[in-house]
A and B are shown apart, each in its own frame.
Chain A
């Protein structure tokens, strides 16, 4: 992965990584930091680091290497910003990616429609948990109290609902890849 001098990586290789892994890395960073500004900082730092030390990464473990670098940069950015606790609400408030192409936005809109339909098709009990946990950002403990249901039952409902939603998004990704 070097540019020929044995010390530095070919910038075009890093650019390829950016296109190949940029999306998942950005989402990963958002999951770690819950802070869009910290994401931007860590994301940029990750690829700066890739330019500096990418030649040390092995092809077969490249993705893990990038995730590891990204995590470390997220921790640095997080410490600098003294990030607050994680919150689904803060994740949910993030704007749509500015770099998305019209095709990606169309695909996203289709996913949103599909997910909304799927949520409406979920059993009412699962819908209630999804709405309370993701839309209202209530903890599972609070939801269990509100629904007067055992915590384990609430967790099972959420997991089952997430599995269906997860599958729907995976199907979309498969279609997109074709």
Chain B
């Protein structure tokens, strides 16, 4: 193949162009018949052009597939990040509701015992603050933690939403 031409189409011969049209299924009936006759005869120029075209299409398609994978991965990452954010936010809202309802109920409030999860204790200290502490001192109640709340606050480290960016 000569590489000295300025016009890029000059070093892309008719055989290559016909080969592309052939593998793309774009040859008209008469062209197709003539082209396949060349292939059937073992016309090296035509056969090699088909082989080159397949390689070319494969590489171009693969380059597009890499782009698509990167785009898909980015999209999935964003989607996953969004989902994680929603889960964390929902958990926070639920926690607030549960605590709010607990504080409003006339039943004795059951506060976390000494073996309660450290995170929940921290949360109770920060949110329930003085009321919970006071009640705990007086009544020594036990906080019942629903399973779904434990699951929500015990999200794996990779799902804490920190990598959303």
Contacts and interface: CB of A to CB of B under 8 A. Distances in A.
Interface of A: 23-25, 27-28, 30-32, 34, 61, 63-69, 71-72, 85-88, 91-94, 96, 108, 111-113, 115-116, 119, 130-131, 133-135, 139-140, 156, 158-160, 162-167, 169-171
Given A31-B23, A108-B62, A167-B3, 5 more contacts: A64-B41, A130-B60, A140-B26, A162-B16, A169-B59
Contacts, number: 143
A66 B44 CA distance: 10
B9 A163 contact: yes
Contact of B63 (A68, A91, A115, A160): A115
Contacts of B132: none
Interface of B: 1, 3, 8-12, 16-17, 19-20, 22-26, 39-44, 47-48, 50-67
Highest count of chain B CB atoms <10 Å: which of A28, A130, A135, A160: A28
Given A30-B54, A169-B59, A134 B64 contact: yes
A28 B55 CA distance: 9
- Smallest CB-CB A-B distances: 10 pairs: A68-B42, A92-B61, A163-B12, A64-B42, A86-B25, A67-B47, A116-B63, A27-B51, A31-B50, A163-B8
A68 to B, nearest CB: 3
B14 to A, nearest CB: 10
Contacts of A67: 39, 42-44, 47
B40 A88 contact: no
A165 B56 CA distance: 7
A55 to B, nearest CB: 17
Nearest to A172: B59
A113 B47 CA distance: 27
